[in-house]
Amino acid sequence: MNNLLLQNVGIESVIFSNPQKMFELAHGGVAGDVVRKTVKEFPKQREAICKALSVTSGNLSRLYSRKHLSRPQSEEILDILAVYSIGIEIYEDLKLVEEFFGTSIPALNNQTPESLLSSFTGRKMVKDVLNKILWMEFS
């Protein structure tokens, strides 16, 4: 399923396990179509994606036709996809991942993961929680 998500958005499935490939993709610029496909896969996260990419919801579609996003925008969308990938690895279903992102989580100070997706620090917090779930490290 995880590979299927990455294929659906146009990213190589090895990207998150190969830091050099991740660097090269971010440095060269992710295609704007990746953003369109990510929003299509996770429509409830549209606003968080807009905030992370520093665009308004009305201007988001302008990114879709870009051949290459800027390096900061590329890094942001790749980091968002990394969070989704961990969620899909755990739940194996996009609907369950969406449900998780919309649920208040005590380990996130009762915030929803979707409310934290717009910043690097927030995504790190969500990834930390997801990794604890993945490796069953909650006490």
Residue 111 β-bridge partners: 105
DSSP for residue 110? T
For 57-90, write each residue's pLDDT tens digit.
Answer: 999 999 999 999 999 999 999 999 999 999 999 9
Confirm if 41 and 5 have CB atoms less than 8 A apart: yes
For 24-56, write each residue's pLDDT tens digit.
Answer: 999 999 999 999 999 999 998 999 999 999 999
Domain boundaries along the sequence of the chain: 2-134
Q: CA separation (Å) from 104 to 28, 107, 111?
A: 36, 9, 5
- 């051949």: which residue's tokens? 67
* Per-residue pLDDT, 1: 52
CA dist 15 and 22 (Å) reads 5
**Strand ranges for the chain from DSSP E:** none
